[in-house]
Structure 1
Amino acid sequence: MTFQTLKKYAAPYYRNLGGWRTRRKILVIESDDWGSIRMPSRQVYERCLKAGYPVDRTWYERYDSLLSEDDLELLFGVLSSFRDAEGRHPVITANVIVGNPDFAAIEKSDFQNYHYEPITETFQRYPKHHRCWSLWQEGQRHGVLMPQFHGREHLNVAMFMSALRDGNPDMKFAFDNRMPGCIPKGPQRGPNLYVETTRFRSKAEKAAVLDATLEGLDLFENLFGFRSRTFIPTNYVWSSDFNAAVRHAGVEAYQGMRLMKEQQSAGTSHPVRRRLGDRNDFGQFYLVRNANFEPSQSAEPRLRAVDRCLHDIQAAFQMGKPAIISCHRLNFCGFIDEANRDQNLKALKAMLTAVLRKWPNVEFVTSEEMLDILKSTPREGQGASWA
């Protein structure tokens, strides 16, 4: 075994050092970006390529869009075909962007004022999405979908509006094609920085980020009829200065990676390490993702993602941890490229089949239920503990 092979094998075990432990085989699937428009259509994708924007080189621009009615029905069909020992289906914790830019209203204001629309209105603007809101509700009723909060929009409003007012040609192209930001072309090629919602570069922008987050949490409640108890900041960027306000707004736990990005006032950030079950000064828990099922984010064959995810799950269970899987929405999206969805659903079936075969006592739970398990465990509880 080479050093690189050994390192790759050992990495999932290292990620699970410290923090809360349990003998239960708990599996959580956390999926970000539900509701965000990202790439509006296949036609816009082709228009971007023709204009010289390398959208084929970035996974999110290549595949990610609103899940269509077909996408949802096929995904829910896969999830509902599996049950754990308690009769529960695998359930997606869908981290929802509750709004998108209202491009017409922004243009009407001569780009002086930002406006957004709720996702229920966005669905009506798309050709294969009119029933998506009712399908989301159906997914909730059948226990395969549980919404939680991800942001008011997946967009840095300050950067977006500043670029529009300055006449930035890339942003003008993106706006005309109803995209939330763009990737640059030419020698300055890079990622779409406009989607980094929570970054700020001044005190005014910092205040606006918090206001948008709190407004988004209220809109989430208006849409779904309940407060979101967990929250995953977009792009894993957050300021701990916001913790008190969002705790008051009902957020009891943050989802995220082992390394999160603590935002600084100058627009920079530094990594902060989290362990499962850690709590901050306001009593908010941290849920830490320790497994990945992201087949769309690799050029490798889709089934390689199954093997990697199963290795992550095995490491988590052997280390006494729940398996909390990161699985972004783009993996289920066929609105831009149906092959992306179809291949990944086959991989999802293979992964769930293997999980139930190898760990028949696995428990499918949501992020919110994982929070309740953490809250109900004494510091030295039966079957669970902190290390």
Structure 2
Amino acid sequence: MNFKQILSKNLINLPGWHTNRKIVVIESDDWGSIRMPSKDIYNQFLKEGIRVDKDPYCTYDCLATKDDLSALFEVLTSVKDKNGNHAVLTANTVVANPDFDKINASGFREYYYEPFTETLKKSPLHTDAFSLWQEGINWSIFYPQFHGREHLNIKKWLSVLQKGDDTVTRQAFDLNTFGLTENVSSKIENNYMGAFDSARKEDIIEYDAAIKEGLDLFEQLFGFRSESFIATTYTWSPDIEVSLKKNGIKYLQGMVSQRIPLDGGYKFKYKNTNFCGAKSKSGLKYLMRNCFFEPSQNRIFDWTNDCLRRVQIAFQWHKPAIISMHRLNVIGAIDQDNRNQNLKLLKNLLEKIVLKWPDVEFMSSDQLGNLIEGR
């Protein structure tokens, strides 16, 4: 780690809310999203010359199976904080996926979605997985929060499918997925993963509707309202925050840097002041990620020790340590070794945290937000 990196890791922890308590939050994005439907479909892409092995999300990320969740829960319950609480994972969830059959029947003119619980039922691997979600919630170790209605820019996606020029996007559609990127094929015209990456008024109206529908569906699925939100690809216009706030969101998860769209999703500017506890113009409070544990992204990098250093820096500046760990790191449906290796690393990380800081406290994102608010 060079001087510039050390300085940067310290500087982001200076402004904002401070506490003498040693708080650890684990935020994990992409739960509920279909991404790579199965190992068979992954192999089908490779057979057709589409290099899905070039993108870690296409290589590893999939809906969580019961085995994935059981193995994750075993790790989370292997440690306790000073209050006797196990580690808790904030599972940032998209509550729906495209209904591919209905969209196809419309000739790609209309968009339809289904709750992710229905997507689970369509796969033999995932049929009973939602019961584990409910167990995790009941055990206070797996706590969903809102990541969007779906992890998809609907307008861009349907437009490309209607034109029919992008054969790879169409092949992906026929295999019931949309999450391929330019890393996989140069023929892909767009990245469709940013659900809120336009600033146009007509798109904001659509986003507002998706936010309301998504948060209402979230409550139907889980029995409670989500109080925090993390935008897909860390990209959103401040204009959608009015709708988020109106529908019960109080806290914005994310990085210190926010990517703000300036047009229909092609030009952006960056806001680099989303410090923990600071308020947005709409009055929502930021929860800033300052630690990272993403071993599926880079097998060579020492994620454990880097994360521990970042936790130490956060505590030195009296800040909560908010760890980013995307879902792909704990999924084994496509590559079982991915899950097994990463969960060993996660267990080691958690054990080192409770050993080094015996007064640590594990919290979910909404619990931290409520503490910052003094609730």
TM-score bracket relative to the smaller structure: over 0.9
Matching residue's letter, 1:336: I
Distance 1:69 1:244, change over 3 A: same
Q: Work out the CA distance in 2 between the residues paired with 1:239 and 1:124.
A: 34
Give the deviation of 1:206 after TM superposition: 2.9
Question: How many Å separate the matches in 1 of 2:57 and 2:167?
Answer: 21
Structure 2 residue 256 is matched with structure 1 residue 258: yes
Question: Where in structure 1 are there 5+ consecutive unaligned residues?
Answer: 378-387
- Measure how far apart 1:187 and its partner are: 7.8
Unaligned 5+ runs, structure 2: none
Root-mean-square deviation (Å): 1.8
- Counterpart of 1:40 in 2: which secondary structure? coil
Deviates more, 1:280-289 or 1:71-80: 280-289
Aligned to 2:215: 217
Is 1:28–2:22 an aligned residue pair?
A: no
Match of 2:269 in 1: 270
The corresponding residue for 1:118 is: 115
Q: How does 1:294-305 map to 2 (within 5 A)?
A: 294-300=294-300, 304-305=302-303
In structure 2, the CA distance between the partners of 1:33 and 1:185, relative to structure 1 (3 Å rule), is closer
Q: Distance in 1 between matches of 2:31 and 2:22?
A: 27
The alpha-carbon deviation at position 50 of structure 1 amounts to 2.4
**Structure 2 counterparts to residues 300-339 of structure 1, below 5 A:** 300=300, 304-339=302-337
Give the deviation of 1:176 after TM superposition. 0.7
SS in structure 1 at match of 2:107: coil
- Aligned to 2:152, which of 117, 142, 155? 155
Q: For 1:177-236, what per-residue CA distance to the aligned partner results, in whole angstroms no more than 9, with x for missing partners?
A: 111242348983679711111122743233212221221111111111111110001000
Match for 2:271: what amino acid?
Answer: V
> What is the distance in 2 between the residues matched to 1:186 and 1:77?
34
Alignment correspondent of 1:342: 340
**Deviations along 1:40-96, whole A, 9 cap, x unmatched?**
111111222222222112111111111111000010011112111111010000000
Do 1:201 and 1:266's aligned partners in 2 also have CA atoms closer than 8 Å?
yes
Question: Is 1:376–2:368 an aligned residue pair?
Answer: no
Cα distance in 1 for partners of 2:123, 2:367 equals: 33
In 1, the alpha carbon distance for the partners of 2:181 and 2:242 equals 34
Distance in 2 (CA, whole Å) between partners of 1:362 and 1:348 is 16
Partner of 1:47, secondary structure, is helix
* TM-score, length-scaled by structure 1: 0.92
**Does 105-114 or 247-256 show the bigger shift?**
105-114
Pick aligned residue for 2:142 from 139, 142, 145: 145
- Shift in CA distance, 13/123, structure 1 to aligned 2, threshold 3 Å: same
Normalising by structure 2, we get a TM-score of: 0.95
Partner Cα distance (2:54, 2:68) in 1:
23
CA distance in 2, matches of 1:327, 1:110: 37
For 1:100 and 1:320, locate their aligned partners in 2 and report how far apart those are by CA, in whole Å: 40
Distance 1:358 1:185, change over 3 A: closer
Q: Report the number of matched residues.
A: 372
Query: Does the C-alpha gap of structure 1 residues 186 and 355 become closer, same or farther in structure 2, counting only changes over 3 Å?
Result: closer
Looking at structure 2, the residues matched to 342 and 373 of structure 1 have their Cα atoms a distance apart, in angstroms, of 34
**Which amino acid in 1 is paired with 2:288?**
V
CA separation in 2, counterparts of 1:330 and 1:106?
A: 27
| Corresponding residue SS for 1:195 | coil
